[in-house]
């Protein structure tokens, strides 16, 4: 009988693998499918867009921040997968009253591997979990091998106001792996996870690059052009999923990340 502690320290013991799963975390929904658990997945959010077509086969129970908890209960799940960052505490605490809720808290690849291992134990799919961990390590090592002298960067996720990924985020981890150092390190370790930035502060931080993410704000070339007139940094639109989807999405985006790391490395030659 596996006894598992989630990433907030809540302990659960399962006499048998759960049969009905509701996932409130888009990138971990993809992980569940990759672990061979699609048949057990009965509910998910409207943002669970991977794998393609999955939403059409399952019940959508709202968004990550506005989960329809009564609809979740109607699905009679015996396991819910949630995220500290993506879901609200109120939602998690309400559902946890009578359903096991595993809460993830993933800021780096080590955190991700812990979650993969835990799900492997809970659902008795340890071999599949170990295979994914090996693949994640292989991708990580391959990216590290491409890194030369790192360039500083800011990674913007929002506009009006501008908001950036802080140092304690999965995005920052992926930037490091691909050869970029988060310029927000200059502000110390006590900064917000997603701080607001003025153009003046961006210029003070003087990054080599400013990356504009395709999500959650859909930055376009017109936004890059507007900002480029106000800063000396190089501007680039990047695929937000490649840097922020922390399930097995990192493997799906492996080719993109490899090419990105190669581009960053070539800038020093």
Residue showing tokens 């491409």: 146
Alpha carbons 90 and 68: distance in angstroms, whole number: 12
Q: How far is the first Cα of the chain from the last one, in angstroms, to the nearest whole number?
A: 55
Alpha helical stretches, state H, 123-232: 126-146, 170-177, 199-205, 221-228
pLDDT averaged per 10 residues in sequence order, the chain, 269 residues: 90 94 97 97 97 96 97 98 96 96 96 97 97 97 88 96 96 96 85 91 96 97 95 95 93 94 76
**Closest by Cα among 259, 256, 231, 255 to 153:** 231
**Closest by Cα among 129, 115, 63, 75 to 99:** 75
pLDDT at 46: 97
Alpha-carbon distances, residue 122 vs 23, 32, 94, 107 (angstroms): 15, 12, 22, 22
Alpha carbons 4 and 1: distance in angstroms, whole number: 10
User: Which strand (E) or helix (H) includes residue 259?
Assistant: helix 254-266
**Closest by Cα among 40, 47, 101, 37 to 69:** 101
SS3 267: coil
Rounded to the nearest 5 degrees, what angle is found at the Cα of 6, between the Cα atoms of 2 and 11? 60
pLDDT at 269: 44
Q: Where in the chain is the domain with CATH 3.40.50.1980?
A: 3-140, 149-266
To the nearest whole number, what is the mean pLDDT of the chain?
A: 94
Strands 3-5, 11-13: pairing is antiparallel
Structure tokens at 42: 């009965």
Rounded to the nearest 5 degrees, what angle is found at the Cα of 51, between the Cα atoms of 46 and 52? 80
Q: Does domain 149-266 have CATH number 3.40.50.1980?
A: yes
Burial class (CB in 10 A: 0-12, 13-18, 19+), 184: buried
CATH class of 3-140: alpha beta
pLDDT at 149: 83
**Closest by Cα among 148, 215, 137, 225 to 180:** 148
pLDDT at 187: 84
Residue-wise pLDDT tens digits, 35-83: 999 999 999 999 999 999 999 999 999 999 999 999 999 999 999 999 9
């Amino acid at each position: 009988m596996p006894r598992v502690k989630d990433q907030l320290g809540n302990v659960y013991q399962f006499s048998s693998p759960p049969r009905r799963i509701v996932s409130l975390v888009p990138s971990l929904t993809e992980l569940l499918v990759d672990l061979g658990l699609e048949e057990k997945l009965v509910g998910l959010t409207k943002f669970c867009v991977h794998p393609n077509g999955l939403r059409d086969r399952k019940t959508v129970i709202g968004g990550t921040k506005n989960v329809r908890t009564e609809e979740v209960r109607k699905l009679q799940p015996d396991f819910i997968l949630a995220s500290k960052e993506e879901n609200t505490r109120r939602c998690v605490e309400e559902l946890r009253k009578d359903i096991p809720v595993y809460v993830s808290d993933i800021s780096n690849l080590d955190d991700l591997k812990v979650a993969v291992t835990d799900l492997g134990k809970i659902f008795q799919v340890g071999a599949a979990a170990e295979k994914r961990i090996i693949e994640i390590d292989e991708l990580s090592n391959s990216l590290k091998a491409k890194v030369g002298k790192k360039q500083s960067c800011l990674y913007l996720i929002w506009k009006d106001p501008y908001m950036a990924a802080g140092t304690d985020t999965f995005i920052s981890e992926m930037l490091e792996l691909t050869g970029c150092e988060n310029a927000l390190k200059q502000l110390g370790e006590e900064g917000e996870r997603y701080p607001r930035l003025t153009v003046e502060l961006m210029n003070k931080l003087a990054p080599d690059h400013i990356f504009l993410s395709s999500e959650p704000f859909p930055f376009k070339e017109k936004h890059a052009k507007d900002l480029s007139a106000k800063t000396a940094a190089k501007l680039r639109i990047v695929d937000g999923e490649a840097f922020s989807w922390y399930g097995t999405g990192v493997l799906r985006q492996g080719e993109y990340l490899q090419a990105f790391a190669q581009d960053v490395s070539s800038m020093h030659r």
